[in-house]
Amino acid sequence: MGANQPNRSTSQSIRSISSLHFAKVVLDSAVPHLDREFDYSIGQNHLKQIQVGSKVAVNFGRQTLNGWVVEIFTQSRFANKISEIKKVIGIFPTLKPNVLQLARCVASYYAGNLSDVLRFTIPPRNAKAEKDQLQESSISYPELKPDLSMIEAGWALENRIGRFTKAAILLQRFDDWQNFAIALTKTAISQQKNVLIIVPENSQVLSLLKRFESELPQLLIAQLSSEMPAAERYRDFLRIYFNQIHLVIGTRNAIFAPIENLGLTIVLNEYSDLFESPQAPYWQVSKVAQLRSEIEDSCLIYLGSSFSVDLYSQIKGANVKLLKSISDQTQKVSVTHDTESTNISKSRFSSTVWQILNASKEGPVLIQVPRKGHAGLLRCSSCYRISTCSKCGGSLRIMHSTEKPNCSRCGRLHLDFTCQVCKSQNYKVSQPGQSSILAEIGKMFPQRILLSSSGQKRLYEVKHQPSIIVSTPGAAPKVPGGYRAIVVLDAMSQFARPTLNVYQEVFSQWQELIGQLSNKDEANFLISGEVDEKFLLYFFRSNVVGFLENELAQREVVGLPPIKQALMVSGPLKEINHFVSVLTESTPLQTLGPVTHWERPAESQIAVITDEILNLVLSARNHLKVVSMKGKSSIRLQVNPSRFI
């Protein structure tokens, strides 16, 4: 079955083979053994429409599938047998050669289908936007004066724009990042090179876009974000496709933007977990950016007040050049650890926390809590054991004060709570959530303005006024002039996730929070709850390099990524055990696991550790195709996932 052996009814009619044109098509299919090119003929009615990069519909067996044309040629050994392309989708061949080349590299590195990667490269089509789109037109570059004096060795970096270079700039203050992005962009534009800036969140896209429109209105700018209206997003995509922009600002998928004449790519906060795709093949922006920089011979710059351990290992290995910002702006911040209270209770705050809350009468105070909802963890009132689900063993929580407990793992609602150990039917809140803490603060300060920010109900900016903002991690709104104080409640809960990068993520996220404090003597950053003393020491001193050096040293002792490389195999226990045994039978490799997937209790995981990931990925991918041909497979492969077991 397939394009090369179609139904007889769809085969070519008898005519001159020399007058035919053919196309190699990559099918839009997630099935591993269909990850190859298929030959199709191009009918006379489609000759002028179909180009390399066109999206088409084709017959495949008894079904119709979409696909992308990746090559056009005039001879095929299957000429008398193959099907004709059924339909052309869209007006333009939206898959550019440079993006196709990058997608091939990403698919190979991350053990995925090419079609899986191609889905990320082009946003959903909008017919009206296509009809309104003007064809390609030349753009001129404004004359801008570059100035990289704020960067250590900025003069050397200026000469590397438009040449394969990887560098990381360690910022002294995170809220200065826009100034650096603008300075770097001006340098590239002055050399008549285009720029791509990738940030973790849409709020940062909008904020940076506003700055550029204010300071450099002569630039032609496009944005790409999943939160944009579909028509607007596709319209900006087409502007990029037709070379009508100087600068692209976007979130994760924008790394595949079809921008040409690329001289500079900037990635902000490459450690962010938002930069790892949650869908197969689970690619990461940092690696894709490096692949693109090398393919297109362009400069790649990482900006951040901290870096991932993986990036630091590249810096230490001299694969990435470390630069530092030059600034005489000193952050006058008092960073303290609340030793009075090591376990925040719903009904009681320590005196230190209370004093900071009371200081909100002088300006905005941010309270960061580890979880949203009413209660993140419940305990039995009699035996004090953590309350768990009777079905899957997951911990129970309460999302709203009027609701009954539900399982954080399987979502099951427990209308009649019963302790699995002592059979008591009473429970108490062990770890209060955002709503219960907000209610408690409201009782303490009834006249104070109270605001909350989390996830989809996020505030992006609030006024500088006496107020208390209760936020979950990563959802703190911006305040003009900065916060009067920031408190991290129940700090130990932020380290509870069973992932390899949890300390790195918390360290980096707290570094960002410090950058949101007011630059005044009375500004205070308070950590309340149990925290590893060594971790705190690095954080108190803002010793980013020391922290990363320590993290890397610990991983070196046990041989974990990035010291070694890892292929994570996930799926039903029986399947992954057999799969890994085949992978390791010819070349014995270290394995970790199997362990139960902490978010999917029906799945297990095994990590295969190696020095050479590409050879292992190739073997795993070939074996997965064999398994796929024999029947449906539930196995998932991830290369160096950020959420390592």
The string of pLDDT tens digits covering residues 449-469 is: 999 998 778 898 999 999 999
- Phi, psi for 18 (deg, rounded to 5): -65, -20
Q: How far from the centroid of its chain's Cα atoms is residue 155's Cα?
A: 32
Q: How far from the centroid of its chain's Cα atoms is residue 564's Cα?
A: 22
Asked if residue 378 has pLDDT above 90, the reply is: no
Per-residue confidence (pLDDT) for residue 431, from 0 to 100: 65
Give the bridge partners for 301, in sequence order. Answer: 167, 266
Integer Cα distance of 368 and 452 in angstroms = 10
Asked if residue 75 has pLDDT above 50, the reply is: yes
Say if CB 327 and CB 176 are below 8 A apart: yes
| 221-244: average pLDDT | 94
| 254-279: average pLDDT | 95
Say if CB 247 and CB 222 are below 8 A apart: yes
| 207-234: average pLDDT | 95
Say if CB 337 and CB 531 are below 8 A apart: yes
Integer Cα distance of 364 and 355 in angstroms = 14
Name the packing angle between helices 544-558 and 502-514 (round to 10°): 180
Task: Sheet containing 55-60: give its strands across.
Answer: 37-42, 21-27, 63-73, 55-60, 87-89
Residue 92 exposed, middle or buried by CB count within 10 Å (0-12, 13-18, 19+): middle
**Residue extent(s) of CATH 3.40.50.300 domains in the chain:** 131-324, 334-373+433-554
Say if CB 65 and CB 58 are below 8 A apart: yes
CA nearest to 584, candidates 561, 557, 610: 610
Helix (H) or strand (E) holding 396: strand 396-397
Per-residue confidence (pLDDT) for residue 379, from 0 to 100: 76
Asked if residue 402 has pLDDT above 70, the reply is: no
Indicate the pLDDT class of residue 5, thresholds 50, 70 and 90: very low
Integer Cα distance of 351 and 557 in angstroms = 41
C-alpha distances (whole Å) from 280 to each of 37, 52, 90, 224 are 19, 25, 25, 21
Asked if residue 19 has pLDDT above 60, the reply is: no
Asked if residue 498 has pLDDT above 80, the reply is: no
Condensed to tens digits (0 to 9), the pLDDT of residues 314-371 reads 999 999 999 988 764 445 577 889 876 544 444 457 888 888 888 899 999 999 988 7
- The token duo for 442 is 């409201």
| Tally of CA atoms within 13 A in the half-sphere of 382 that contains its CB | 10
Indicate the pLDDT class of residue 12, thresholds 50, 70 and 90: very low
| 412-424: average pLDDT | 81
Neighbours of 242 (CB within 10 A): 17
Asked if residue 129 has pLDDT above 50, the reply is: yes
Asked if residue 577 has pLDDT above 50, the reply is: yes
CA nearest to 272, candidates 296, 251, 293: 251
Per-residue confidence (pLDDT) for residue 9, from 0 to 100: 36
- Phi, psi for 353 (deg, rounded to 5): -65, -40
- The token duo for 197 is 């800036």
Per-residue confidence (pLDDT) for residue 552, from 0 to 100: 95
Per-residue confidence (pLDDT) for residue 346, from 0 to 100: 42
Q: Which CATH code fits 334-373+433-554?
A: 3.40.50.300
**Residue extent(s) of CATH 3.30.70 domains in the chain:** 565-639
Q: Which CATH code fits 131-324?
A: 3.40.50.300
The mean-pLDDT minimum among 173-177, 550-554, 609-613, 622-626 falls in: 173-177
3-state SS, residue 434: helix
Outline where 191-266 has alpha helix (H). 202-215, 230-241
The mean-pLDDT minimum among 46-50, 347-351, 517-521, 615-619 falls in: 347-351
| 542-561: average pLDDT | 93
Asked if residue 3 has pLDDT above 50, the reply is: no
DSSP per-residue codes, 588-614 = --EEEEEEE-SS-TT-EEEEEEES-HH
- Phi, psi for 163 (deg, rounded to 5): -135, 150
The mean-pLDDT minimum among 164-168, 199-203, 247-251, 368-372 falls in: 368-372
Per-residue confidence (pLDDT) for residue 342, from 0 to 100: 42
What is the chain's length? 645
Neighbours of 318 (CB within 10 A): 8
Condensed to tens digits (0 to 9), the pLDDT of residues 26-68 reads 999 999 999 999 999 998 888 889 999 999 999 998 899 999 9
Does residue 215 come out as left (phi exceeding 0), alpha (psi in the -120 to 50 range) or beta? Answer: alpha
Integer Cα distance of 104 and 117 in angstroms = 8
Integer Cα distance of 150 and 158 in angstroms = 12
Residue type, 228: M
Integer Cα distance of 365 and 479 in angstroms = 10
DSSP per-residue codes, 466-499 = SEEEEE-TT-PPB-TT-BSEEEE-SGGGGG-S--
Q: Is the pLDDT higher at 467 or at 426?
A: 467
Residue type, 577: N
Neighbours of 335 (CB within 10 A): 19
Given the structure tokens 């300060």, which residue do they identify? 445
Q: How far from the centroid of its chain's Cα atoms is residue 173's Cα?
A: 22
CA nearest to 128, candidates 96, 87, 90, 86: 90
- The token duo for 353 is 């926390």
Integer Cα distance of 260 and 133 in angstroms = 18
Indicate the pLDDT class of residue 118, thresholds 50, 70 and 90: very high
Integer Cα distance of 83 and 106 in angstroms = 30
Q: Which residues contact 77 (CB under 8 A, 6 or more apart)?
A: none
Indicate the pLDDT class of residue 127, thresholds 50, 70 and 90: confident
Say if CB 365 and CB 468 are below 8 A apart: yes
Per-residue confidence (pLDDT) for residue 287, from 0 to 100: 97
Mean pLDDT of the chain: 87
Indicate the pLDDT class of residue 388, thresholds 50, 70 and 90: confident
Per-residue confidence (pLDDT) for residue 148, from 0 to 100: 93
Q: Which residues contact 248 (CB under 8 A, 6 or more apart)?
A: 194, 195, 196, 197, 221, 222, 223, 224, 240, 254, 257, 259
Neighbours of 460 (CB within 10 A): 15
Condensed to tens digits (0 to 9), the pLDDT of residues 269-285 reads 999 989 999 999 999 99
Does the domain made of 565-639 have the CATH classification 3.30.450? no
Asked if residue 195 has pLDDT above 60, the reply is: yes
